[in-house]
């Protein structure tokens, strides 16, 4: 049985250096959607706009980065702590760790036959440095993060880190760090996410076709031929005159995750849309969605994405943790000379997405009947030009992945530029 499955993977790593069981399938019932009270986060949309401004194809995990930064915040003080609060809208350390404990507990409940979610964090700490007991306890109990001693001077230290990421992402990210990047490293915080889901309303493979996708190059509209898939079903959908766009929700099997696609009405409308959207007006539109019979046409695509996040975080106002005035006294104890020089030297993110209509053996028995249409389609969603997308966990409103597609034929990420932190 043909279906559709999506692979999304991300790894985030924060490098700190010295300066100088599957559960049985259940009936998911009716497909009912209502946005969570605490849906998404202002930081998610700031990142999306920043990434989209100078990258054609984008995919990243807001929740993954926020978890790592929230963990760092627990060990900060002084001006460094205040910058976390200002940029991330953190109120205090107790409320932040309670919030992320609840989110991670909700995300980890439920590996089903219909989907897979792997998420994990780990702190690799230089062997002669001991974590403070309170920080280790908070990391374990609230962020589900273990601390592992490691000798960064050993050649195989990068292999140990990459092996952990490789296993968590099912082999999709095999090299997060290189040996030369660990020189002078005191601590490394890594988070990785892997998601695999199958559409609740699957796209029949025998209806796939090739057609034109419209690219925007300055003021010119160009076309490329790409593979498309199509389906006609009842979906949550809304049209917005203010945004001059259409919004479509595509639910995954299992009843917990969905992909939302925001498609401008005009072929060159994405830049204007990005200027207007924010957390609040997107959320208000989600409340207006209702079920309609929609004929959906989507391109199949896959691409990788990687980004150095330190320059972006500095642009947002997080300067202290990258400077020799950084203050993280709550993290570790031991060599006082090393700890006084604790400073974040890099934040790296690697991600990828693969979307098509080909099912796997594990999902062959869970196909949804696509034959019982309700009347004729009263809306058409033809994604034949650039659009935005995000994948959310619906119970908590957490955005696992967000991104932008401008060219379905581009697969390889741009190389990571060099970065030197401020001093």
> For residue 152, with 0-12 CB atoms within 10 Å meaning exposed, 13-18 middle and 19 or more buried, which class applies?
buried
Q: What's the CA gap between 305 and 10, in Å, rounded? A: 9
Instruction: Report the distance separating Cα 358 and Cα 181, nearest Å.
Output: 38
CA distance 411 to 408: 8
> Which residue's entry shows tokens 């062997």?
127
Give the pLDDT confidence of 205-253 residue by residue, as tens digits.
Answer: 899 999 999 998 877 888 999 999 999 999 999 999 989 999 999 998 8
- The answer to whether 77 and 330 have CB atoms below 8 angstroms apart is yes
User: Quick one: pLDDT at residue 118?
Assistant: 82
pLDDT the model gives residue 255? 84
Q: Specify whether the CB–CB gap between 15 and 345 falls below 8 A.
A: yes
Q: What is the pLDDT of residue 185?
A: 79
pLDDT given for residue 17 in this prediction: 58
Residue 275: φ, ψ to 5°: -70, -30
Structure tokens at 5: 């499955």
Q: Dump pLDDT digits (tens) for 34-82.
A: 898 888 889 999 999 999 988 889 988 888 889 889 988 999 999 999 9
Question: What confidence score (pLDDT) does residue 339 get?
Answer: 63
Segments in the chain below pLDDT 50:
1-7, 19-27, 358-375, 419, 421, 423
Q: What is the pLDDT of residue 9?
A: 58
Separation CA 12–CA 372 (nearest Å):
43
Positive or negative, the CA dihedral 322, 414, 55, 390 is: negative
Joined tokens for residue 170:
């099912």
Domains of the chain from N-terminus onward: 5-22+59-198+303-353 (3.30.497.10), 205-300+369-405 (2.30.39.10)
For the entire predicted model, the pTM comes to: 0.87
Q: What is the pLDDT of residue 18?
A: 54
Q: Three-class SS string for the chain?
A: CCCCEEEEEEEEEEEEEECCCCCCCCCCCCCCCCCCCCCCCHHHHHHHHHHHHCCCCEEECHHHHHHHHHHHHCCCCHHHHHHHHHHHCCCCHHHHHHHHHHHHHHHCCCCCCCEEEEEEEEEEEECCCEECHHHHHHHHHHHCEEEEEECCCCCCHHHHHHHHHHHHCCCCCCCCCCHHHHCCEEEEEEEEEEEEEEECCCCCHHHCEEEEEEEEECCEEEEEEEEEEEEEEEEEEEEECCCCEEEEEEEECCCCEEEEEEEECCCCCHHHHHHHCCHHHHHHHHHHCEEEEEEEEEECEEEEEEEECHHHHHHHCCCHHHCCCCCCCCCEECCHHHHHCEEEEEEEEEEEEEEECCCCHHHHCCCCCCCCCCCCCCEEEECCCCEEEEEEECCCCEEEEEEEECCCCCCCCCCCCCCCCCC
């Amino acid at each position: 049985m043909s279906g559709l499955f999506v692979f999304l993977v991300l790894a985030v790593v924060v490098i700190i250096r010295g300066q100088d069981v599957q559960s049985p399938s259940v009936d998911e019932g009716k497909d009912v959607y209502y946005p969570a009270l605490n849906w998404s986060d202002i930081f998610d949309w700031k990142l999306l706009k920043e990434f989209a401004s100078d990258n054609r194809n984008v995919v990243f995990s807001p929740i993954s980065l926020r978890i790592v930064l929230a963990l760092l915040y627990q060990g900060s003080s002084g001006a460094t702590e205040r910058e976390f609060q200002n940029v991330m809208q953190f109120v205090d350390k107790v409320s932040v760790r309670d919030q992320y404990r609840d989110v991670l507990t909700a995300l980890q409940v439920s590996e089903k036959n219909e989907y897979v979610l792997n998420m994990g964090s780990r702190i690799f700490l230089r062997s002669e440095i001991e974590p403070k007991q309170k920080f280790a306890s908070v990391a374990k109990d609230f962020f589900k993060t273990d601390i592992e001693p490691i000798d960064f001077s050993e050649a195989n230290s990068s292999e140990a880190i990459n092996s952990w990421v490789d296993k968590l992402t099912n082999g999709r990210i095999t090299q997060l760090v290189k040996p030369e990047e660990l020189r002078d490293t005191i601590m490394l915080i890594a988070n990785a996410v892997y998601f695999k889901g199958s559409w609740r309303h699957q796209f029949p493979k025998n209806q796939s076709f090739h057609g034109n996708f419209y690219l925007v190059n300055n003021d010119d509209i160009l076309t490329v031929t790409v593979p498309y898939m199509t389906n006609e079903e009842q979906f949550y959908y809304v049209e917005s005159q203010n945004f001059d766009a259409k919004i479509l929700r595509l639910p995954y099997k299992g009843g917990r995750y969905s992909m939302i696609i925001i498609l401008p009405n005009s072929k060159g409308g994405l830049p204007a849309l990005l200027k207007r959207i924010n957390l609040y007006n997107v959320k208000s539109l989600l409340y207006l969605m209702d079920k309609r019979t929609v004929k959906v046409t989507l391109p199949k695509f896959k691409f990788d994405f990687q980004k150095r996040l330190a320059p972006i975080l500095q642009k947002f106002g997080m300067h202290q943790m990258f400077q020799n005035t950084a203050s993280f006294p709550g993290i570790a104890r031991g060599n006082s000379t090393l700890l006084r020089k604790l400073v974040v030297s890099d934040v790296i993110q690697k991600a990828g997405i693969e979307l098509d209509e080909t099912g796997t053996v594990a999902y062959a028995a869970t196909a949804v009947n696509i034959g019982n249409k309700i009347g004729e389609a009263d809306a058409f969603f033809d994604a034949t030009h650039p659009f935005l997308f995000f994948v959310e966990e619906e119970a908590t409103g957490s955005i696992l992945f967000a991104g932008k597609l401008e060219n379905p034929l581009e697969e390889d990420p741009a190389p990571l530029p060099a970065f030197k932190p401020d001093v």
